[in-house]
Structure 1
Amino acid sequence: MPTAMITGANRGIGLELLRQYAQQGWRVLGTCRNPETASAAQALADAHDSVSLHALDVTDAAAVAALAVSLDSSRIDVLVLNAGVMSPGANTLGELDASAFLHVLEVNVVAPAICAQAFRRHVATSERRIIVGMGSYLGSIASNNEGGLYSYRSAKAGLHAIMRSLSVDLRDEGVTAIAMHPGWVQTDMGGPDASLSTEASVAGILRVIDGLKPGDSGRLLTYAGEELPW
């Protein structure tokens, strides 16, 4: 049975990844800060013996390291670095707040790097050996013609750079590392006017992941399998 690990699995895209992987018969390790209040994720865990939830604040490096040790015997075929935030206090020029900006960078950039570092061996010793960072079209510098969204754009561009470096540094271990744009999705972050349901986005993401080849490592792909410019 293949294993997927998903950070930020309590809502939105992370929750739907948890659901669809479970439906496909995978063993799924979901993380979130407070599993006891993550009722939808907990319901999935109760309904599927293959799903487990683990308390994790991705910004707590010691907690990340401890979870990696506790899962030492687990081989993770697909690691999805999904946890992320957007702060309204760090997106508009003239209204930027330094602490809010730093929090966005900590969650969206530093935490994925620390998680990839902690679970590197778990992935490299698995059969599929895939790491996916949940990036965004908004982190594509070449595509930025609208400005604004300073912290979020910066954070996703930083995450893209991390995934690119992982693709180089883990090449000899056979790991495929990509950044993934999930589309504009109807989540708490994307809002109700977004063009894509979580179900459709995640179905596309899983199709792309399932079709990945080593030569895809280091690319920024969309849920539809298209490549975006950095």
Structure 2
Amino acid sequence: MTRVLITGANRGIGLALARQYAADSAEVIACCRNPSTARALRELVASTGGKVRTLPLDVADDASIASLKRAIGDLPLDVLINNAGINGTPKAQSAERIDVEGWMTTMRINALAPILIAQALRDNLLRGSDKKLVAISSDYASTGTNYGSSRDRYAYRASKAALNNGMRGLARDWADDGILVGILYPGWVRTDMGGERAAASPNSISAEHSALCLTRRIAELTPATSGAFLDYNGETLDW
């Protein structure tokens, strides 16, 4: 049975991924800061007959990452999905003014935490059959593509570009161990992070559709595509 660990699994894309993998008969370890208050996730646990279990994880806290590692011990992982992320704080992240603390928090959660989690759970991946490490990125990470105004998204854009670079490095450095790295843009998804514009746009997609496509892209990962920047349809994106 495939075993998958997902961060930020209490809502949005993370929750949809947990549902999709459970529907595909995988064993899911769903992580979030406060599983006891994540009602939708608790309902999923109750409805899946043991396929899904939860563990607490605050990706911004080194001690919490270490606690997660202790909790799973030497358990093999086939797929590790770093999904947890933030848009950035409501304070200024623009050409006119940068909120330093907000910038650093955004970088810590979006770019550094996935690397630290991957390092903490590397041995678990090596014990798995699939050995797939996945980062949920964003089209805003692309420096080569113009997505319009950057107002209030400076920290987010920078953090996702840094995430991509770090994961591409792991794809190279861990290739000899058989670890495959997926860097995936989930689409413009109708979630809290997608915001009101996504909710109202005919060009956005549901979290369920995104999760279905992402699981297919993860299943298709090969050494040839490891470390590539792809969207949910498998199209290559500009760095």
> TM-score higher than 0.5 here?
yes
* 1:90–1:150 Cα contact (<8 Å) kept: no
Shift, 1:90, TM fit: 4.2
**Counterpart in the other structure of 1:136:** 138
Shift, 1:145, TM fit: 5.2
CA distance in 2: counterparts of 1:13 and 1:77, whole angstroms: 19
Residues 34-43 or 64-73, more deviating: 64-73
**Counterpart in the other structure of 1:26:** 26
Shift, 1:146, TM fit: 2.6
Map 1:4-23 → 2, pairs under 5 A: 4-23=4-23
Map 1:179-194 → 2, pairs under 5 A: 179-194=183-198
CA distance in 2: counterparts of 1:2 and 1:178, whole angstroms: 17
CA distance in 2: counterparts of 1:201 and 1:89, whole angstroms: 29
CA RMSD of aligned residues (A): 1.2
2:228 counterpart of 1:219:
yes
**Counterpart in the other structure of 2:238:** 229
**Counterpart in the other structure of 2:201:** none
Encode CA deviations 1:105-137: one digit per residue, 9 max, x unaligned. 111011111101101111122100101111111
CA distance in 2: counterparts of 1:54 and 1:225, whole angstroms: 30
Segments of 5+ residues of structure 1 without an aligned counterpart are none
Residues 65-74 or 4-13, more deviating: 65-74
CA distance in 1: counterparts of 2:182 and 2:92, whole angstroms: 26
- SS of 2:224's equivalent in the other structure is helix
CA distance in 1: counterparts of 2:146 and 2:79, whole angstroms: 30
2:47 counterpart of 1:47:
yes
2:106 counterpart of 1:104:
yes
**Counterpart in the other structure of 2:219:** 210
CA distance in 2: counterparts of 1:51 and 1:75, whole angstroms: 16
CA distance in 1: counterparts of 2:191 and 2:223, whole angstroms: 31
Map 1:48-197 → 2, pairs under 5 A: 48=48, 49-87=50-88, 88-144=90-146, 146-148=148-150, 149-194=153-198, 195-197=204-206
* 2:30–2:52 Cα contact (<8 Å) kept: yes
Shift, 1:175, TM fit: 0.4
Shift, 1:229, TM fit: 1.4
Shift, 1:91, TM fit: 3.0
Encode CA deviations 1:116-174: one digit per residue, 9 max, x unaligned. 11011111221001011111110011113534120010000000011101101111110
Segments of 5+ residues of structure 2 without an aligned counterpart are 199-203
CA distance in 1: counterparts of 2:94 and 2:205, whole angstroms: 25
Shift, 1:97, TM fit: 0.8
- Runs of 4 or more, structure 1, over 4 Å off, are none
- SS of 1:143's equivalent in the other structure is coil
* 1:123–1:129 Cα contact (<8 Å) kept: yes
* Count of residue pairs brought into register by the alignment: 230
Shift, 1:73, TM fit: 2.9
Indicate the percent of aligned positions where both proteins have the same amino acid. Answer: 40
2:203 counterpart of 1:199:
no
